Amino acid sequence: MNSPGKPVSRFLTQTDQPVSFAELFFDLVFVYAITQVVQLMHSGFDGLHVLRAVLVFWLVWWGWTQYSWALNAANTHNRAIQISILVATAIAFFMAVSVPLAFDESAIWFSLAYVLVRGIGLYIYLWVTWPDPGMRRAVKSFAALSVLGLCSAIAGGMIGGIWQYVLWLLTILLDMLAAGIGGNNDAWNLHPRHFSERHGLFVIIALGETLIIAASAATEEFSDAYLLLVTSLCVAMTCCLWWIYFYRAKEKLEHAMESKTGAEQSKLGRDVYSLLHFPLICGLIIYAYAIEESITHPHVEMHIAARTALAVGLFIYSTGLVLTQWRATGKVLVMRLVITVVLSTCIYFIQGVQTFVTLSIALTGLLAICIMDEINSPFGRSSEEGIEIE
């Protein structure tokens, strides 16, 4: 039912609609984009390669998250909107393909594809919200600041060298400024269920990347007992990571969004989903790199780079979820933090053991977090896991 005084548009949704097949098709491109970002770390898990991966993934992520806002407002069953999504999907495909070129002489091609994807997203957002004066003003303020970030991104791709890193870091700052100012507006009128579902699907995409890696290795050497053991441990860990997010966290975050209105809701959506989900997904990308290295060398000790990546990836993912729930509910999951710190420390410092032993340690820690979630679920004991911070 439409609210009194609210303009009606066939392009602007009036309900908290489910995610459409057009959006799912759009998201598929980002499966490949995440794979490409993981490839950027293949030359080594050091400061330079991690910085490159983070910079490129921010651009990929911010391009995607802009669509999560735009399509949250759009009537995605409208044919014109669906055609626009398909056009954006085609261009995003070339953006994903050019990720490995992002730091060589062909960096401009990645930058151009990225700017085109973002530009279409901004156009869709302005288009669908134009009949609503409040939403139109909110989108225009965000778009004006976003253009500065796009200029910085394309300038970095054109100039290259050290200036590319500087300008792309500036892009991140400008994007965060646009989110900080734009998110304070009370006219966004977000639909919590759709917003939560879109971001949950992106987490699935990142988790699926690790399963693809494990499946590819197991298919090539199915008779290798050690490889099958390592692969099984990797799959079990990924299942635990799914449980940690989807068993309780997703529902809590969605409920927190539903309990807010106006500017408070838009700021919560910005902080919990658009900003804090970024490090969370980064953790999964680093974890995917560690899994790939583990499966490549299953018979020997996990080398220091892979062990570091596994410890860092799990730490960022678990801590990222703690931060999202703290921002949404005001509670700090202290025991989750303690287990995460102990787990990451053990993974990093326990040396001289085979890969499957390191992965078993990681799996044990993740199972401990899952069990703690079960104990503190509505179906378990009624104890409270978190400490409330005012």
Give the range among 76-80, 191-195, 386-390 with minimum mean pLDDT: 386-390
Q: Are residues 319 and 269 in the same domain?
A: yes
Q: Are residues 324 and 359 in the same domain?
A: yes
In a domain, 305, yes or no: yes
Q: Are residues 117 and 236 in the same domain?
A: no
Percentage of residues in the chain with pLDDT exceeding 90?
61
Q: Are residues 229 and 297 in the same domain?
A: yes
> For residue 380, is pLDDT > 70?
no
In a domain, 145, yes or no: yes
pLDDT at 165: 95
In a domain, 152, yes or no: yes
Mean pLDDT taken over the chain: 88
Q: pTM of the full predicted structure?
A: 0.90
Q: Are residues 52 and 98 in the same domain?
A: yes
- Per-residue HEC secondary structure of the chain comes to CCCCCCCCCCCECCCCCCCCHHHHHHHHHHHHHHHHHHHCCCCCCCHHHHHHHHHHHHHHHHHHHHHHHHHHHECCCCHHHHHHHHHHHHHHHHHHHCHHHCCCCCHHHHHHHHHHHHHHHHHHHHHHHCCCHHHHHHHHHHHHHHHHHHHHHHHHHHHCHHHHHHHHHHHHHHHHHHHHHHCCCCCCCCCHHHHHHHHHHHHHHHHHHHHHHHHHHHHHCCCCHHHHHHHHHHHHHHHHHHHHHHHHHHHHHHHHHHCCCHHHHHHHHHHHHHHCHHHHHHHHHHHHHHHHHHHHCCCCECCHHHHHHHHHHHHHHHHHHHHHHHHHHCEECHHHHHHHHHHHHHHHHCCCCEHHHHHHHHHHHHHHHHHHHHHCCCCCCCCCCCEECC
Q: Are residues 185 and 277 in the same domain?
A: no
Q: Are residues 288 and 145 in the same domain?
A: no
pLDDT in tens, 52-72: 999 999 999 999 999 999 999
Q: Are residues 249 and 173 in the same domain?
A: no
In a domain, 194, yes or no: no
Q: Are residues 237 and 363 in the same domain?
A: yes
Give the mean pLDDT of 238-267.
Answer: 92
In a domain, 4, yes or no: no
Q: How confident is the model at residue 138 (pLDDT cuts 50, 70, 90)?
A: confident
pLDDT at 295: 87
Print the domain residue range for 337: 213-388
> For residue 240, is pLDDT > 60?
yes
Which of 136, 155, 189 delimits the end of a domain? 189
Q: Are residues 178 and 225 in the same domain?
A: no
Give the mean pLDDT of 300-324.
Answer: 94
Q: Are residues 269 and 311 in the same domain?
A: yes
pLDDT in tens, 333-379: 999 999 999 999 999 999 989 999 999 999 999 999 999 888 876 54
In a domain, 14, yes or no: no
Q: Are residues 184 and 258 in the same domain?
A: no
Q: How many domains does the chain have?
A: 2
